[in-house]
Amino acid sequence: MTTHTAEDGARNLWRGQDLPALQPLQSQALAEQAEKLQGIVSRRNRRETLVAALLAPTFLFFAWFFPHWLTKLGALLIVAGGGFTQWQMRRRASARPLPEAWAGSLLAFHREELVRQRDALRSVWLWYVAPSVPGMALFLCGRQIENGFWQPWIFVFVAAVLGGVVLLNLHGARRLQRRIDKLDQLTREDIA
């Protein structure tokens, strides 16, 4: 006797969606696009995790080594902000495994993933950039106090880099929106 789990019920509901039937060639192209997206997302997240893994011990060392309390606090906040960012990346922008079924469920899955990644990129200022700002500001202030002179250009440079990160991610979100629109257009053409 086999028992049906909630996962089996969800999988059957997923497979039974009323979505347009795709031609075999379109299904194959869609599967390739979905796999490519998942690969890109996985590689990006691994790179980000590696960077965070390198930055955490570096800034922990800075918190121990530099004498001024602002520098120490800033370094610790940078590490905490990095941890928060990694948690948010897994929550908002992790690569999900592709569904086993083809056609409608793959189309819905791929579109949902594109939307999810687009939304993550649009809000990168909130969950990726903003958590690093307080720690970076305190760290830079502490270092300038330790050095005995003020260099405002450092703050301008950091703000420009962070602004560039936001702009690049917004550009990526626009590219993903074009792919979503193209998928929606393909779906509408198949229905007609």
Distance between CA atoms of 52 and 82, rounded to whole angstroms? 6
pLDDT digits (tens, 9 = 90+) for 60-118: 999 999 999 999 999 999 999 999 999 999 999 998 887 765 555 788 888 999 999 99
For 91, 145, 152, the CA distances from 78, given in Å and listed in that order, are: 20, 18, 20
CB 111 within 8 A of CB 32: no
State residue 191's pLDDT score: 60
pLDDT digits (tens, 9 = 90+) for 69-81: 999 999 999 999 9
Task: Give residue 192's pLDDT band: very low, low, confident or very high (50, 70, 90).
Answer: low
What share of residues in the chain are helix, strand, coil (percent, to 5)? 85, 0, 15
Distance between CA atoms of 96 and 39, rounded to whole angstroms? 10
Of all residues in the chain, the percent with pLDDT exceeding 70 is 81
Which DSSP symbol is given to 96?
P
What secondary structure does DSSP assign to 22-57, as a single string?
PPHHHHHHHHHHHHHHHHHHHHHHHHHHHHHHHHHH
What pTM value is reported for the model?
Answer: 0.78
State residue 96's pLDDT score: 84
More confident residue, 9 or 164: 164
Distance between CA atoms of 44 and 41, rounded to whole angstroms? 5
Mean pLDDT of the chain: 85
The yes-or-no verdict on residue 18 having pLDDT over 70 is: no
Of all residues in the chain, the percent with pLDDT exceeding 90 is 65
